[in-house]
Structure 1
Amino acid sequence: MTEKNTPEVILPPFRGDKLLSPAGVPKLLSTGSATGNPRNKCALQPGHSLMDWIRLGNSGVDLSGTCGRIVPVSKEELARHNKRDDAWMAIRGKVYNVTRYMDFHPGGVDELMRGVGRDATKLFDEVHAWVNYQQLLNKCLIGPLKIIVKPDAEIFKSIKTETNKVTIPNTNIANIEIIPRIDWIQKQSDITFYIYTRQFCNPGLVLKYINEKEFRLLVQIEHTKHCIELQLQSEVRWPPKACKLSSETGKIEICFEKVQEMKLWNSYGAHTLIRVLPTDDAEEYNVFKFEIKTNTDFNLDSFEMILRGSQDDTLFLLPLGYHVNISTDINGEPVERSYTPIPQNFLSKTLNTNNSSLNEMNLNFLIKNYKANGLLSEHMQQLNVGSHLLLSVPRGNFKLQHLLRHKRFTFLAAGSGLTPFLSIIQHLLKRFENKIEYLRLIYFNKTEADIWCRNALTDLQVQDERFHLTNILSQI
């Protein structure tokens, strides 16, 4: 191991919501298409598949036409490149040269030409907002779209200038609510549901099993939960084959294995969408019973605990930076505290199963036992496997989009305060949009024995040169 990949250890000097009525909310039936979406696709010519496009991008051909330079583009310049053989397009503030992509576009040349020479963000979102266009067109990037804002006399009449500094008064911008949208595709053996929200809105999911044909999905976006009651045409197996959440794209993917294989459905069934306010106090939407699957000591004052739905009937995917409240009765009194689950790879001990779908249903905790005043933590450390705890829906107010503009990070964590950072660190190192350049974690503890997840963090530093770990100790 090189010195670069060895974590620093700095020692001190030696010293001694209310449920709204679903009335009027129609059940949304399948369109009958395999995707639930009537968009058309065109047959591509031989040699113009997705893999052919990827090979072209990796061949060294200059697809952007800028020889690798990033060139800012004005709206006027963008508008001049509006022809079949000279086609530029802007999506979310970035301009791409899509001339060579024309014959590779599944929707056909005419469909792509609708967005050429202009900002096509709205058009793109209307047709296929879930597509990872950044990865598809990254070799076509020309540069940022230059936006010149002309101040409105009424809004900016109170602008004050002083030594070239401009103070712009706050304007009232209404928050637009994000309504989840559901789509689906199927194979003969399985069916996959996609729930689309919005890029970097940091959604969460609670998936509740009712029976082989009925499921409840709570899609959480900030403080609002959107309940999707899903009724399937035929039976599927539980747990799902896969359940994934992309915090970057805002897409949730749930794949079920069909009970009757080798059979295509003519419809997925139906679903009802209900908006659940944060003030809702209905227990079925806010509190879930979980069972302890493992409970093992980590060090002298900490323990690892893995929880799963008490009947293997509940799956949690938390938004990044969020926590859950764990509660139980102690001596006849309810006691509740907040804890942040951690990714499975940061545990020193994992549940002994090779079933990835079962592992996805686990919530993993690393908890410090505050014996002096930690009534709940001390009680939980003594609980046996099979005991039950109550968990709340995910809670928090972390704004993931606030990190998007930054490429270099330094995080400060101390003791058990490390847990909220672990999933965020993983996200940033994998982030595709505005890839980060550097991430440093400065981690404070009393002694080396108190350092949590040391091996996993050291391995992460070896695997990714952008990550650097510094351990600072207050005692020898």
Structure 2
Amino acid sequence: MPRCCGASLVSVVDGDGSPQSLGLQIQDGNPRNKTALAPGHSLMDWIRLGNSGADLTGVGGVPRIVTLSELASHNKKNDAWIAIRGIVFNVTQYMDFHPGGIDELMRGVGKDATKLFESVHAWVNYQSILQKCVVGRLSRGSVSGTTPSPTENTTVSNTADCSSATLNQITSCTTDCAGQENVPDGDLSSIKMDWKQTIQLITFFFKQQTCKSPGLCYELTKQTDSKLIFKLIFENDTTTHILDLIGKIKWPPTCIRNFETMQVDFTFLKQEKMPWINYGIQMIMRETSTARLFREYEVVANILLSNLVHLLVLRAKDFLQIITPGRHVIVKLNDIDMLLGKDLSRSYTPVPPCLHPDYMPPNYTSNCQCLIIKKYPNGAISPSITTLQVGQTLLLSGVVGTFAIEKYDRYSVIHMVAAGTGLTPMLGIIQRSLSKRSVKTINLLHFNKNEQNMFYEDQLEKVSGKKLKVTHILSQPRDTWTGIRGVVSYELLEELVGKCKPDECVFTCGPLPFMRATRM
């Protein structure tokens, strides 16, 4: 195949649609391996056509799954699809713009032309030239790329299988799930992905236009160094963004969640320090699923916080979750023999790695989850979890629960009443509230039996001040204790919390008797 118009990187990050901003290098003259193009069919004309709003995909601009048989049916000059490196492009309107001529381009039409392309001109930046022509992803399975109508006699996959699938199964399953056909245009549609870069870094960020998705959680999976899968999870509705990048990144990313703007940034180091003309190809899919998927996490730190309370830092391989404050995960042990053959599980609330940077736990990275777990000597699972050593593993589920902290954003004063490890769900709320300008006061009451049961007090003291007030109450302290003594009671709560005003709310967490007492 004769050489097409070359494409080389230039040091332009943001462009206006010109050849230079697309990273294209226009070649003047008429090299012997190029075909003379008719007037109005230059590279500049092709770029103008792409920027005109015309649908060059032929499928309405909605990415889809394309099977080999479907690809083969689009093998004519006036209906031409071509697959390169797993992505299918509609090159019908590009025919007359191809510098190598129509006949040469037709050699790859209707088939996977990756080998042909790479053997002739692998240096050409086809992603930029054909970025407006993407039909979707090539699937070598037998699943059709179109969603069957309800009247078609089609066997569909079980919705529950979707969330436990691999990448290839996900793309097939989300196409054919019965539950997906009736997914409404819900709140996740307001969340947009964008990107920015420097020479060394590339950032993908998601931002809600309004708070239409309270309790939104994120999952990110690295398939390869150039393929990422983002999942935005809201209740049982999931939007999946699959990115085929034009360059390679380093794992894990730096994750920043801005609680004011509701923007979440994922920033990666590039393996090669150079600007990207674009980030690559994106596919977006919707699915509904209630299936629960467990992943293996490795213990990278087990820190004793107090007499019986441990902080576990757990890391997944090529996977991370951002869980909204107040939600929880389900924990299972990998070694079922430790549980005498019983498959037991418990729910725990992930906590921030720290509230103050001086207390960042060892070995923590963005793809870690932190759990605070109290060891109950006669407990079914906590004695085994709290004795796990670095390098051992356990299983964590995805996010569970329906609590949505955003529903309480109208309150400027937050009271928290916690007993023992009932503090753990409060920590994420404290971290979030400290960063929000609308929250003026955080009043935390932490009840414990004695000094040996206290934990996190040094770190809470470090971040307390004008906005955060922390009060420790012990029921059986030593004689040297100078703080408040007692148990939760109406009189004590009236003294330390008072009567709530319209701009105040109260969060409580602890054992059942404690919870009953707080409602008196």
Q: 1:294 aligns with which of 271, 276, 301?
A: 301
User: Against the structure 1 CA distance between its residues 377 and 37, is the aligned structure 2 distance closer, same or farther, given a 3 Å change threshold?
Assistant: farther
Deviations 1:7-44 (A, max 9, x none): xxxxxxxxxxxxxxxxxxxxxxxxxx956999xxxxxx
Give yes or no for contact 2:354–2:361 (8 Å, CA) kept in 1. Answer: no
SS, match of residue 421 in structure 2: helix
Q: What amino acid maps onto 1:385 in structure 2? A: V
When Rg is computed on C-alpha atoms for both structures, the one with the higher figure is: 2
User: Against the structure 1 CA distance between its residues 288 and 35, is the aligned structure 2 distance closer, same or farther, given a 3 Å change threshold?
Assistant: farther
Give yes or no for contact 2:260–2:435 (8 Å, CA) kept in 1. Answer: no
- The whole-number CA distance in structure 2 between the counterparts of 1:239 and 1:467 is 32
Cα RMSD (Å) of the superposition? Answer: 2.5
- The whole-number CA distance in structure 2 between the counterparts of 1:377 and 1:35 is 52
Corresponding residue of 2:346:
337
Deviation at 1:227, TM superposition (A): 1.9
Matching of residues 91-170 of structure 1 within 5 Å = none
Deviation at 1:278, TM superposition (A): 3.5
- The whole-number CA distance in structure 2 between the counterparts of 1:175 and 1:419 is 35
2:425 aligned with 1:420, yes or no? Answer: yes
Deviation at 1:403, TM superposition (A): 1.6
Matched length: 292
User: Against the structure 1 CA distance between its residues 225 and 35, is the aligned structure 2 distance closer, same or farther, given a 3 Å change threshold?
Assistant: farther
- The whole-number CA distance in structure 2 between the counterparts of 1:325 and 1:199 is 30
Deviations 1:154-213 (A, max 9, x none): xxxxxxxxxxxxxxxxxxxx9942223211122222211112234443422111111111
Give yes or no for contact 2:306–2:455 (8 Å, CA) kept in 1. Answer: no
- The whole-number CA distance in structure 2 between the counterparts of 1:198 and 1:321 is 23
Identity over aligned residues, as a percent? 27
Q: 1:207 aligns with which of 202, 206, 220?
A: 220
Corresponding residue of 1:303:
310
- The whole-number CA distance in structure 1 between the counterparts of 2:16 and 2:455 is 47
Q: What amino acid maps onto 2:270 in structure 1? A: K
Corresponding residue of 1:218:
231
Corresponding residue of 2:283:
272
- The whole-number CA distance in structure 1 between the counterparts of 2:264 and 2:258 is 6
Deviations 1:260-297 (A, max 9, x none): 21x2222211122222323245xxxx322100111233
Matching of residues 54-73 of structure 1 within 5 Å = none
User: Against the structure 1 CA distance between its residues 405 and 316, is the aligned structure 2 distance closer, same or farther, given a 3 Å change threshold?
Assistant: same
2:243 aligned with 1:230, yes or no? Answer: yes
Give yes or no for contact 1:199–1:247 (8 Å, CA) kept in 2. Answer: no
Q: 1:257 aligns with which of 269, 279, 289?
A: 269
Give yes or no for contact 2:246–2:278 (8 Å, CA) kept in 1. Answer: yes
Q: 2:187 aligns with which of 173, 177, 181?
A: 177
SS, match of residue 359 in structure 1: coil
2:365 aligned with 1:359, yes or no? Answer: yes
Give yes or no for contact 2:306–2:454 (8 Å, CA) kept in 1. Answer: no
- The whole-number CA distance in structure 2 between the counterparts of 1:223 and 1:37 is 39
- TM-score using structure 1 length: 0.57
Unaligned runs of 5+ in 1: 1-32, 39-173
Deviation at 1:304, TM superposition (A): 1.8
Deviations 1:376-432 (A, max 9, x none): 111112222111111111122122232221111211111111000111112112103
- TM-score using structure 2 length: 0.52
Matching of residues 81-96 of structure 1 within 5 Å = none
Give yes or no for contact 1:202–1:247 (8 Å, CA) kept in 2. Answer: no
SS, match of residue 382 in structure 2: helix
Give yes or no for contact 1:247–1:320 (8 Å, CA) kept in 2. Answer: no
Q: 2:446 aligns with which of 443, 455, 462?
A: 443
Give yes or no for contact 1:37–1:183 (8 Å, CA) kept in 2. Answer: no
SS, match of residue 363 in structure 1: strand
SS, match of residue 333 in structure 1: coil
User: Against the structure 1 CA distance between its residues 221 and 277, is the aligned structure 2 distance closer, same or farther, given a 3 Å change threshold?
Assistant: same
Corresponding residue of 1:3:
none
Q: What amino acid maps onto 2:203 in structure 1? A: T
